[in-house]
C-alpha cells in the first residue's frame, strides 16, 4: 500500500498570501495524484488531477506540480472561501486508493 504524507497538518495564513501545501508518496506514483478541498457541510471538491490539471471550474489561483514522490498544491492568493481542509490522493497503484491525512488552512 502506498502511504501518502501531507505537511503541514495545519497552516495559519492571511487572505491574499501565497501558500504551498506538500504531499509525499512512499513510492513513485508518476503523476497520478489528485488534490481535494473539503469544507464543513459541503461535498469534497476535486481541484487537481494528474498532478497539475485543474478540474472543471477550479480557479486559476490553484496550481499543482510535482511527479514521482513529491507534489505541491499552490494557492497564489488566498481568498476567504479557500479556508478548508485539503487532501492529496494517489491513484497510480490501486486498490487501494490512498489519501494523505489532510492539511487544514486556517485564517491567521
Partner 1 sequence: QVQLVQSGGGVVQPGRSVRLSCAVSGVTFSAYGMHWVRQAPGKGLEWVAFISYDESNKYYSDSVKGRFTISRDNSKNTLFLQMNSLRPEDTAAYYCAKDNSYYSSGSLDYWGQGTLVTVSS
Indicate whether 9 belongs to the interface with partner 1 (CB under 8 A). Answer: no
Task: Please state, in angstroms and rounded to a whole number, the distance separating the CA atoms of residues 72 and 7.
Answer: 10
Residue 19 or 46 having the CB closest to partner 1: 46
Task: Please state, in angstroms and rounded to a whole number, the distance separating the CA atoms of residues 54 and 107.
Answer: 24
Site string for partner 1, 25-44 (x = CB under 8 A): -------x-x-x----xxxx
Task: Please state, in angstroms and rounded to a whole number, the distance separating the CA atoms of residues 88 and 93.
Answer: 14
Q: Applying CB under 8 A, which residues contact partner 1?
A: 32, 34, 36, 41-46, 49-50, 55-56, 87, 89, 91, 94-102
Amino acid at each position: 500500500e502506498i502511504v501518502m504524507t501531507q505537511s503541514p497538518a495545519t497552516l495559519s495564513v492571511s487572505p491574499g498570501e501565497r501558500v504551498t501545501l506538500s504531499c509525499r508518496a512512499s513510492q513513485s506514483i508518476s503523476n497520478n495524484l489528485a488534490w481535494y478541498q473539503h469544507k464543513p457541510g459541503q461535498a469534497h471538491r476535486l481541484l487537481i488531477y494528474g498532478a497539475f490539471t485543474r478540474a472543471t471550474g477550479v480557479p486559476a489561483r490553484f496550481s499543482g506540480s510535482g511527479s514521482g514522490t513529491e507534489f505541491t498544491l499552490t494557492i497564489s492568493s488566498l481568498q476567504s472561501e479557500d479556508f478548508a481542509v485539503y487532501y492529496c490522493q494517489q491513484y497510480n497503484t490501486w486498490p487501494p486508493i490512498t489519501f494523505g491525512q489532510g492539511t487544514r488552512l486556517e485564517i491567521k
